[in-house]
A = this chain, B = another copy of it.
Amino acid sequence: MPKASRFSVVLTLALTLCAHADEGMWVYNNLPLKQLQAKYGFTPSPQWIERLMKASVRFNNGGSGSFISANGLVLTNHHVAADALEKLSTPEHNLYEEGFLARTPADEKPTKDLELNQLISIEDVTSRVNAAVKPEMSVAEAIAARRAAIAAIEKEGTEATGLRCDVVTLYQGGQYHLYRYKKYTDVRLVFAPEFAAAFFGGDPDNFEFPRYDLDMCIFRVYENGKPVQVDNFFKWSAAGPAEGELIFVSGHPGRTSRMFTAEALKHLRDFQVPYTLGLLRRREIMLQQYSMKSEENARRAKEELFGVQNSRKVYLGQMSSLQEGKIITAKQRADYQLRAKVAADPKLQELAGAWDRVAQAQARAKELAVRRALLEAGQAFNTPLFTIARHLVRMAYEDRKPDSERLAEYRAARRASLLLQLYSDAPIYGDLEKAKLTDSLSFLVEVFGAGDGLVNAVLRGKGPDARAAALVDGTDLADPRVRQLIAAGGVAEIESSEDPMIRLARLVDDPARAIRKQFEEGIEEPERQAYGQISKALFAVYGTSVYPDATFTLRLAYGQVKGYSEGSGPIAPMTTLGGAFEHEKAHGGKDPWKLPESWRRAKDKLKLETPYNFVSTADIIGGNSGSPVVNAKGELVGLIFDGNIHSLTANFHYTDEKSRAVSVHSAGMLEALRAVYGADALVRELTEGALAGGDACPGKLAGK
Contact = CB atoms under 8 A, between A and B. Distances in A.
Interface of A: 202-204, 266, 269-270, 274, 277-278, 281-282, 284-285, 292-293, 295, 312, 319-321, 323-325, 442, 445-446, 449-450, 461-466, 588, 590
B292 A203 contact: yes
Given A284-B285, A295-B590, A320-B464, 20 more contacts: A203-B292, A204-B293, A266-B450, A269-B450, A270-B446, A270-B450, A277-B282, A281-B281, A281-B285, A295-B588, A319-B442, A320-B463, A320-B465, A323-B442, A323-B450, A324-B463, A324-B464, A325-B450, A325-B461, A325-B463
A464 B319 CA distance: 10
A440 B243 CA distance: 41
A442 B325 CA distance: 12
A446 B276 CA distance: 12
Contacts of A461: 325
A274 B446 contact: yes
Contact of A278 (B270, B278, B324, B450): B278
B292 A323 contact: no
Given A281-B281, A285-B312, A312-B285, A320 B270 contact: no
11 contacts: A274-B446, A278-B278, A281-B281, A285-B285, A285-B312, A320-B442, A320-B464, A323-B442, A323-B463, A324-B465, A325-B450
Nearest to A280: B285
Contact of A204 (B292, B321, B462): B292
A482 B285 CA distance: 40
Report copies per complex.
2
A536 B29 CA distance: 80
A442 B274 CA distance: 10
B466 A324 contact: yes
Nearest to A442: B323
Contacts of A312: 285
B204 A464 contact: no
A381 to B, nearest CB: 16
Nearest to A445: B323
Nearest to A282: B281
A464 B270 contact: no
A464 B285 contact: no
A555 to B, nearest CB: 30
A2 B590 CA distance: 45
A363 to B, nearest CB: 13
Nearest to A592: B292
Contacts of A320: 442, 463-465
A660 B320 CA distance: 44
Contacts of A293: 204
A676 B156 CA distance: 79
A451 to B, nearest CB: 8
B323 A464 contact: yes
Nearest to A269: B450
A325 B465 CA distance: 12
A445 B449 CA distance: 26
A63 B453 CA distance: 43
A33 to B, nearest CB: 38
Contacts of A204: 292-293
Nearest to A444: B323
A-B pairs, top 9 by smallest CB distance, nearest first, are: A324-B463, A281-B281, A204-B292, A274-B446, A323-B445, A281-B285, A323-B463, A281-B282, A323-B464
A269 B450 CA distance: 8
Contacts of A325: 450, 461, 463
Contacts of A270: 446, 449-450
A293 B590 CA distance: 12
Contacts of A442: 319-320, 323
Contacts of A269: 450
Contacts of A324: 462-466
A324 B441 CA distance: 11
A450 B273 CA distance: 13
A258 B160 CA distance: 71
Contacts of A277: 282
A253 B202 CA distance: 41
A284 B312 CA distance: 13
Contacts of A292: 202-204
Contacts of A464: 320, 323-324
A442 B273 CA distance: 12
